[in-house]
Structure 1
Amino acid sequence: MLRDPAYLKALVFSALIGVPVSLLAFWFLAALHQLEHALWADLPDALGWDTPPWWWPLPLLAVAGVCVGLVVRHLPGAGGHVPAAGLHAPGMSASALPGVVLAAFASLPLGATLGPEAPLIAFGGGLAMLFARLARAPTTPQSAALLGAAGAAAALPAIFGNPLIGAVILIEVAGVGGPRLFAVMLPALLSSGVGSLVFTGFGRWTGLSTGGLSLRLGVPTPHIDAGDVVWSVLLAVAIGFAVHLVMNTGRLAAVFVAGRPVTRTALCALGAGVCGAVYTLVTDRNPADVASSGQATLAGLAQDPHAWGVGALIAVLLCKGAAYALCLGSLRGGPIFPALFLGAAAGVLLAPLPGLGVVPGLAAGMAAAGGAALRLPVSSAVLVVLLLGQAEMTPVVLLAAVVGFATVELLPPGRAVPPVGKPAEAAAPGAPEARTRTAGGG
């Protein structure tokens, strides 16, 4: 295979497209981050509020729902994959790019409880196909898969702070193995490394932030003991059940939205806004704790977990979990970041259990929620270990990721998510879509 001239050309082209794809992905993420900061920090401050008032998510998410509904109805590709169906291998055509971009800008900065990773995968894969078309490069189904993976891998490094995790995610999302896995991952790793260099250089040169996910633990890391292991397994089972409930609710929301996308997307988005408003009224905390991906909030939770009382943790779990389910079925984004935050919050809440502790609870909670929500246990474990920045908690992370994943796999699959842009009747319970191995596929 390595001696095949066609494959060697695909490798070279993957390295070349890594530069423009990662540049455009950098500006895409930076614009999302800047707009979110403007809407949730700068604008309230200009109006005289230290934090957004309780009603702030309501108009923003209502606008988000209408805009995403219009994109779904009128633009090719329907704005990208429905988040309740989980992460998908790159497969969006170049014609779907405008819808993907518009739906992401209508969802994420305005308060969707979703992350940017799914739009980035679609964005990077679509750009790779666009550049291949502009270069008049001959494409086959095999080369299109390679280019799509390379484009997605070039776009992913910024949000995870490490080029390796993007490649690992694509390994599991693609669901391939053997020689085919080797064929896909060489260009993906090559392009991911190039993309990471570009993101690092542009971030230092421009001074702009793309909101990369990184954690600094504000408490010391203990040595693992038997209590940590036992509690981690039990915690992972409980989180697996809870995540299964949230994902099933998200799939039901997707079926509900498919019939009348504009009106019902707006209703679901407004419901997510109500969750953020209720959370603020109950706790007097920032509604962005609920109405956001959870990236910044997760970093704050890890830095100072003792700043969250029991009531605040319970409220954010209930309100953000409900908002997450509604957004999974209606808006556009990815499932990773909210799942990690919910798992971390559950771990911190249960940390006082005898023999557990904050850091093991945090690690096990994130790994279990990631494995359960994404159906990608390897990616979830690698991501959490990289986020923690040390290997001490690796055994707990691996156990929790596998147990969380296995718990969800053993539960009934629930409803299937209708195909993008299709009515609800196009998918029925028990159809192949219901058991897809894409992340969170149900």
Structure 2
Amino acid sequence: MGSSAPTPGPDEPLLRRRYARLLLLATAMGVPIALACFFFVGAQHALQHAVWEDLPEAVGYAEPPWWWPLPALLLAGLLLAPVVTRVPGGGGHLAVHGLAKAPSEPAAVPGVVFAALATLPLGVVLGPEAPLMALGSGLALLAMRRTRREADPRTAMVLGTAGSTAAISTILGGPLVAAVLVVEAAALAGPQLVTLLLPCLLASAAGALVFTGFGHWTGLKIGALTVPKVPPAANPDAGDFLWGIPLAVGVALVVSVLHRLGDVTAVWTARRTAVRTVVCAVAAGVCVAAYALITGRSPAEAALSGEETLGALAGDPGSWPVAALLVLVVCKGLAWGVCLGSLRGGPIFPAVLLGAAMGVACAGLPGLGAAPGLAAGIATATATVTRLPLASSVLAVLLLGRDGADQMPLIVVCSVVGFLTARLVEDRTGPKPVAGGAAPAGAAR
């Protein structure tokens, strides 16, 4: 009887020369992808500044008036309508379907870039993370096909995922959180997880260096998701958990309901897509304008993806009345839900702000405080919308800096609570309504 072949060990793929070349390719690829993404987010931030700061000042307003979102989002809908119906790739997949697992085809990249730059700066309540991932993966596949005649599907998946990670490495707080988020979303396990993780880490590290260097050299701002200042707080105690866990359940319920609105909107816009895309854009503008009318504050706080408002809220939570925070959650939340199922962008950034606003609104409860409220709200909302509790915990810790490390036990618990609550809500309410029979291939919430 012949002896059986030895079973390959879990580390064997990592020791092959072909995999070493793949690591070098991923690292080298991260630099040009990061350059393209840097100028993409720099252009988006500059256009956003022009629409919401320079243009109002040019026509005599110190800040945008309450009606400013109405023509801005009408224009966004008119620009996006022909893209989603006629351009290859439709400008990207709907944000309600979450982060795409499969890399974007290079042919879809021009439509994604145009849709993002033409609509996100006008006030669409979505983030730049999904367009950036599509741009990074599409450029990676294009480079691979130009340099190699044939590549197996596994190599294409690894390089496409590494390109996505390089693209979002800085706007999500650095290489670590970007790699964890992309790999956890890819749902790979065992030895395959390590095989995918190493190229993602190397590509995202190279990308982060490019973002940092060009940021200092050019002076361009990229609108990264950051919290520059957080009120000081002690390590979480029993009171923080006593309020934090119910707060996490509440945040998860609110975010889940708003996300369900996106599912309904996606079904509605599946027919007569061009017209209904414009209608949804205007509806989002009405929600944002209502926030400004009710609170007397700038509509920019409820429009856009929310990273700048998040920084202002975290830096000085005491300047925000509880009533204004609740109106922000309702108005921005409704606009976010509508945009999820009709426009193009990422779902994460606005959800982070909604969670932070709910956390700060509850900060006056006895024994809670602003920093634990922020930590619980951010972690819960992110885990609810992404269904990635590990990546959500890492993102919340890095966003909150030194206070994030102190609040880590509360952050982890709230991430898990948000994840489980969202799953329970989905199980109780039944399957999501599906537009056109199924979600796009590779889309995962």
TM tier relative to shorter chain = over 0.9
Task: Name the aligned partner's letter for residue 68 of structure 2.
Answer: W
Percentage identity across aligned positions?
Answer: 48
Q: Structure 2 matches for 1:249-398, cutoff 5 A?
A: 249-390=261-402, 391-398=405-412
State the 1:157 CA deviation. 1.7
Q: 1:426 aligns with which of 437, 441, 445?
A: 437
State the 1:218 CA deviation. 4.6
Matched, 1:61 2:73: yes
CA distance in 2, matches of 1:213, 1:31: 16
Partner of 2:34: 22
Q: 1:50 aligns with which of 47, 57, 62?
A: 62
Q: Structure 2 matches for 1:217-232, cutoff 5 A?
A: 217-232=229-244
CA distance in 1, matches of 2:229, 2:216: 24
State the 1:9 CA deviation. 2.3
DSSP-derived class of the 1:108 partner: helix
State the 1:101 CA deviation. 0.6
Partner of 1:401: 415
Partner of 1:131: 143
Matched, 1:168 2:187: no
State the 1:356 CA deviation. 1.1
CA distance in 2, matches of 1:388, 1:183: 30
CA distance in 1, matches of 2:67, 2:241: 42
CA contact (8 A) 1:79 1:99 kept: yes
CA distance in 1, matches of 2:231, 2:332: 25
Partner of 2:117: 105
CA contact (8 A) 1:375 1:438 kept: no
DSSP-derived class of the 1:412 partner: helix
Deviations 1:371-401 (A, max 9, x none): 1111111111100100110211001111111
State the 1:415 CA deviation. 5.3
Matched, 1:146 2:127: no
Task: Name the aligned partner's letter for residue 86 of structure 2.
Answer: H
CA distance in 2, matches of 1:369, 1:103: 26
Deviates more, 1:11-20 or 1:393-402: 11-20
State the 1:290 CA deviation. 1.0
Partner of 2:130: 118
CA contact (8 A) 2:225 2:307 kept: yes
Could you say if the C-alpha distance between residues 345 and 336 of structure 1 is closer, same or farther in structure 2, counting changes exceeding 3 Å?
same
CA distance in 2, matches of 1:358, 1:190: 36
State the 1:107 CA deviation. 2.4
CA contact (8 A) 1:104 1:332 kept: yes
**Superposition RMSD in Å:** 1.6
Q: 5+ residue gaps in structure 1?
A: 419-423, 428-432
Give the alignment's TM-score, normalised by structure 2.
0.93
State the 1:135 CA deviation. 1.9
CA distance in 1, matches of 2:263, 2:65: 31
Rg (Cα) greater in structure: 2
Deviations 1:137-172 (A, max 9, x none): 531100110110111111112212311111010111
State the 1:59 CA deviation. 1.1
Question: What count of residue pairs does the alignment treat as equivalent?
Answer: 429
Task: Name the aligned partner's letter for residue 415 of structure 2.
Answer: A
Partner of 1:430: none
State the 1:405 CA deviation. 0.6
CA distance in 1, matches of 2:349, 2:121: 14
CA distance in 2, matches of 1:196, 1:137: 29
CA contact (8 A) 1:115 1:338 kept: yes
Task: Name the aligned partner's letter for residue 175 of structure 2.
Answer: P
Deviations 1:14-64 (A, max 9, x none): 111111100000000100010001111111111111111111111111111
DSSP-derived class of the 2:101 partner: coil
Partner of 1:412: 426
CA distance in 2, matches of 1:214, 1:170: 19
Give the alignment's TM-score, normalised by structure 1.
0.94
CA distance in 2, matches of 1:144, 1:95: 15
CA distance in 2, matches of 1:325, 1:276: 12
Task: Name the aligned partner's letter for residue 173 of structure 1.
Answer: A
CA distance in 2, matches of 1:325, 1:59: 20
Matched, 1:208 2:236: no
Task: Name the aligned partner's letter for residue 199 of structure 1.
Answer: F
Task: Name the aligned partner's letter for residue 74 of structure 2.
Answer: A
Task: Name the aligned partner's letter for residue 49 of structure 1.
Answer: Y
Task: Name the aligned partner's letter for residue 203 of structure 1.
Answer: G
Q: 5+ residue gaps in structure 2?
A: 1-12
Task: Name the aligned partner's letter for residue 159 of structure 2.
Answer: L
State the 1:5 CA deviation. 3.2
CA distance in 2, matches of 1:368, 1:238: 9
Could you say if the C-alpha distance between residues 417 and 134 of structure 1 is closer, same or farther in structure 2, counting changes exceeding 3 Å?
farther
Deviates more, 1:151-160 or 1:195-204: 151-160
CA distance in 2, matches of 1:358, 1:147: 41
CA distance in 2, matches of 1:69, 1:254: 14
Deviations 1:50-99 (A, max 9, x none): 11111111111111112222111101111112100111224210000011
CA contact (8 A) 1:80 1:119 kept: yes
State the 1:222 CA deviation. 2.2
